[in-house]
């Protein structure tokens, strides 16, 4: 994996050339308004016979950084892939935790309603067809009777 970091104002555009041919970078990032980074991965068979260039340019000019991939100027590393992968995993974890918190809050609201006792069940007397059932007076009925003299 080879990396090229450039600074310039305005931020330079980065291109990679392998033995004079433009090749696509593996990963690019803009660090800030004046700094850019680009990474490229090269197969071992290509490294032995090629010259790698990082070409960067802006309206102020063009410059080139030469690499010799055969002399370990480009190191193999998994860290560059690890950072984006860990970022995705972290975002997924945050999403799952957020969903669990949301569900816990919903459940706690339901428990609060049940503990307050503001809920009641009603049965219309017309629904009772035989005398095996007894009716009980509830607090709600008492309140209604007090308000209606």
All residue ranges of the chain with pLDDT < 70 are 27, 43-49, 68-84, 117-149
Q: Please give the span between the terminal C-alpha atoms of the chain, in angstroms, as a whole number.
A: 89
Chain-centroid distance, C-alpha 109: 28
Q: pLDDT (tens digit, 9 = 90+) per residue, 55-98? A: 888 888 888 888 765 555 565 444 445 566 778 888 999 999 99
Note whether 12 and 46 are within 8 A (CB).
Answer: no
pTM above 0.75, yes or no: no
């Amino acid at each position: 994996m080879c990396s090229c970091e450039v600074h310039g104002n305005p931020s330079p555009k980065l291109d990679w050339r392998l033995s004079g041919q433009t090749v696509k970078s593996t990963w690019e990032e803009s660090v800030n308004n004046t700094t850019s980074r680009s990474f490229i991965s090269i197969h071992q068979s290509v490294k032995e016979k090629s010259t790698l260039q990082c070409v960067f340019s802006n309206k102020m000019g063009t410059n080139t950084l030469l690499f010799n991939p055969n002399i370990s100027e480009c190191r193999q590393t998994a860290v560059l892939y690890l950072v984006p992968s860990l970022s995705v995993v972290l975002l997924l974890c945050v999403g799952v935790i957020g969903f669990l918190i949301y569900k816990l809050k919903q459940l706690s609201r339901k428990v609060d309603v049940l503990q307050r006792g503001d809920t009641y069940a009603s049965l219309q007397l017309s629904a009772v067809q035989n005398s095996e059932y007894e009716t009980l007076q509830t607090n709600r009925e008492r309140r209604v009777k007090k308000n209606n003299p």
